[in-house]
């Protein structure tokens, strides 16, 4: 079954420290993509970072990096130097094929991150 | 700047009424999606489209319909609103390549 699991419903981190948000996935597809999105309390969904299944290097975008371990089927998000504005819900998602050549995103249930001053 | 907008942002309706939620994108993306977000369920795909005149059912499509007459718009219609359709609705669009989905601001729908 194609599935995304985020095992941490809630996380706390001290401002300026690094934090890792866990994401494990399950798919039999050879080609897939992994995404992280941020949803602040205002409600919008903000794309953060992408990792393709064939990408050998871990993706980085500013303070965000994706720790991709293909053999372990994990795609953890690392936020360095946390800021108060990082307090939000974070979703991991996986792009997979379904119904032939159609593609869709499978979503995890999210991790709520609170950054303490 | 390219963007994706949704209207209305908030809607209260009564059971049995037909409701249409608008989604408009200026990214010129071929792919458009509708999701609903509910506590404990995350984001669930309702309908999606890969281009003009193309529509496909997602995992929770019962009671919803879409049509795609141009690239920019994918309106979502609730044929006969039910209380179970109270939710936050997100529209998203993506293009080829890695197919990153970019989201609208969401519509909060309350069905009484």
Query: A51: nearest CA in chain B?
Result: B98
Q: What are phi and psi of A100, to 5 degrees?
A: 85, -120
Q: Mutation target for B interface from A31, A32, A45: give the one with most B CBs within 10 A.
A: A45
User: Is the minimum CB–CB distance between A105 and chain B shorter than 8 Å?
Assistant: yes
Which residues have C-beta within 8 Å of that of residue B93, sequence separation ≥ 6?
B4, B25, B27, B29, B31, B32, B33, B101, B102
Within a 10 A sphere around the Cβ of B86, how many other Cβ atoms?
A: 16
Measured CA to CA, the distance from residue B24 to residue B14 in angstroms comes to 25
Chain A contacts in chain B segment 36-95 (CB below 8 A):
40-45, 48, 50, 56, 58, 88, 90, 92
Q: Mean pLDDT, chain A, as a whole number?
A: 94
Is the pLDDT score of A99 beyond 90?
Answer: no
Q: How far is B58 from chain A (nearest CA, A)?
A: 9
Is the pLDDT score of B53 beyond 80?
Answer: yes
- Interval A41-92: pLDDT, tens: 999 999 999 999 999 899 999 999 999 999 999 999 999 999 999 999 999 9
């Amino acid at each position: 079954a194609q599935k995304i699991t985020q095992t941490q419903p809630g996380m706390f981190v001290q401002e300026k420290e690094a934090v890792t948000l866990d994401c494990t996935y399950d798919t039999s597809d050879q080609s897939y993509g992994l995404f992280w999105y941020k949803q602040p309390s205002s409600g919008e969904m903000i794309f953060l970072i992408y990792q393709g299944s064939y990408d050998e290097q871990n993706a980085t975008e500013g303070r965000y990096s994706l720790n991709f371990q293909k053999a372990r089927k994990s795609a953890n998000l690392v936020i360095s130097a946390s800021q108060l504005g990082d307090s939000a819900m974070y979703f991991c998602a996986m792009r997979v094929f379904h119904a032939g050549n159609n593609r869709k995103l499978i979503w995890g249930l999210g991790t709520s991150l609170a950054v303490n001053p | 700047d390219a963007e994706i907008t949704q209207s209305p942002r908030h809607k209260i309706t009564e059971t049995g009424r037909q409701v249409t939620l608008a989604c408009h994108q200026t990214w010129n993306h071929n792919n458009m999606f509708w999701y609903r977000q509910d506590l404990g369920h995350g984001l669930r795909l309702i309908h999606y489209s890969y281009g003009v005149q193309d529509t496909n059912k997602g995992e929770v499509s019962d009671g919803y319909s879409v049509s795609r007459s141009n690239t920019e718009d994918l309106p979502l219609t609730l044929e006969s609103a039910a209380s179970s359709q109270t939710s936050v609705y997100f529209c998203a669009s993506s293009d080829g390549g890695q197919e990153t989905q970019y989201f609208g601001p969401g519509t909060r729908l309350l069905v009484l």
